[in-house]
Amino acid sequence: MAFDSGQLTQAEQLYLLAVQQHTETQNEQYKCAVNGLAFTYSLQKRYDRAHELYQNLYELVCYQRDLNGRRSHCTSWVW
């Protein structure tokens, strides 16, 4: 509904707040939710915000790989 009524910024704040509550225990759900939000921004041609969200996901994956003992060799990602 927020997508159609031009209130994406307000919806994003509520959405990320709700999703953030599950970050510690349900990390995969958080990543999927943020990925969906980034995709929505890309559909609206708000590529700067979509890029920021995708970059955050990429860094999270690299961090998790390092925590699990797998060297990620993550470098700066260009989208």
Those residues whose C-beta lies under 8 Å from the C-beta of residue 66, and which sit 6 or more positions away, are 72
Contact 55, 23 (CB under 8 A): no
Is the pLDDT at 78 greater than 50? The verdict is no
Which is more confident, 73 or 42?
42
CA–CA separation, 58 and 77 (whole Å) = 8
pLDDT tens-digit series, residues 10-49: 777 776 766 565 455 457 777 888 888 899 999 999 999 9
Give the pLDDT confidence score for residue 50 in this predicted structure: 92
pLDDT tens-digit series, residues 46-55: 999 999 989 9
Is the pLDDT at 77 greater than 70? The verdict is no
Q: What is the pTM of this model?
A: 0.57
Domain boundaries, the chain: 28-79
Tokens of 22: 């599950």
CA atoms within 13 A on the CB side of 17: 6
Alpha-carbon dihedral sign for residues 27, 30, 32, 38? negative
